[in-house]
Amino acid sequence: MQITMLQGKIHRATVTQAELDYVGSITVDEDLLDAAGIKEYQLVQIVDVNNGNRFETYTIAGERGSGVMCLNGAAARCVSVHDKIILMAYAQMTPEEAKENKPNVVFVDDENKNQSCYKLRKTRSFIRHGEVRIKMLKGKTVVLGVTGSIAAYKIASLASMLVKQHCDVHVIMTKNATNFINPIAFETLTNNKCLVDTFDRNFQFHVAHVSLAQKADVMMIAPASANIIAKLAHGIADDMLSTTALACSAKKIISPAMNVHMFENPIVQDNLNILKKYDMEVVEPAVGYLACGDTGAGKMPEPEVLFEYILREIACEKDLKGKKIW
């Protein structure tokens, strides 16, 4: 008996080109193919995170180091340039081989540069697709900021995922967020007090926003409203969440969630660019039907996607960062 198992994956790559008048395939930077263990001309499945399309094609090796991720032929109609896609290759295995299978999972940045290949060999024994056994998350402190959005309820799932990986999870909510989900839900899941009020006299730390900011290994604000994005961009600290974010020196990941017209407003886009300038990572929202009835960009990605952003940031020490290799 043969079982179809995941062999390799390139996660959340950015589409650089979509060429309709070309023989069907996907052209991929050969360095990324090698890192994922995917062969040229191998059958692959593509998932577009922005529009939800799933389709199959085969790979063509592109220029090494170019970051090229080009959909060709009919497949070009399934994506748009700048969409985020997940590329997956599978292999046939016996049940015995499947037990030992450890897929190569490659994380890339916005320019399709490999962010984790050099770590995969070190962490592959901990990464099993579908299980996400990342022992390096044990003892890490994650601060989750939740603002007023219908997507706030999804963060309960994210908090649960992190706790299951033995993270110390702390949740800070804006007052508007409490209209969508009760703080008790997060306290039950994390076994930590959910903070809303900057001057909560019952909190165990003397200066709550400073103590949490110092403990954090990563801070994620999701869903991030236009309001909190504007506050972060301009250094406004007038509640527990914005105050903690301003005091936090750890990596901050921002996941916008709002109406498509708000998201596309030049003011919001300028504020997001300011956040990027200050080395905050902005998660591109998904495209689809929104709670307000409009269709377009503005949906918060699923908790599994947000989890992988956190995973990429804190699962491994970046001991090659800043090093020069000749």
* Cα–Cα dist 315/13, whole Å: 19
Strands (E), 35-103: 43-48, 54-62, 69-72, 84-93
* Cα–Cα dist 154/99, whole Å: 32
Amino acid letter, 54: R
* Number of other residues whose CB lies within 10 A of the CB of residue 291: 12
Tokens matching residue 66 = 């170019």
* Cα–Cα dist 218/307, whole Å: 12
What's the angle, vertex CA 54, arms to CA 52 and CA 60, rounded to 5? 125
Question: Which residues are annotated as catalytic?
Answer: 25, 58
Q: How many CA atoms lie within 13 A of 88 on its CB side?
A: 14
Per DSSP, what are the bridge partners of residue 171?
Answer: 144
* Cα–Cα dist 171/206, whole Å: 17
Contacts of 169 (CB under 8 A, 6+ apart): 141, 142, 144, 159, 162, 163, 189, 190, 192
* Cα–Cα dist 102/148, whole Å: 39
Match 């400073």 to its residue by tokens.
210
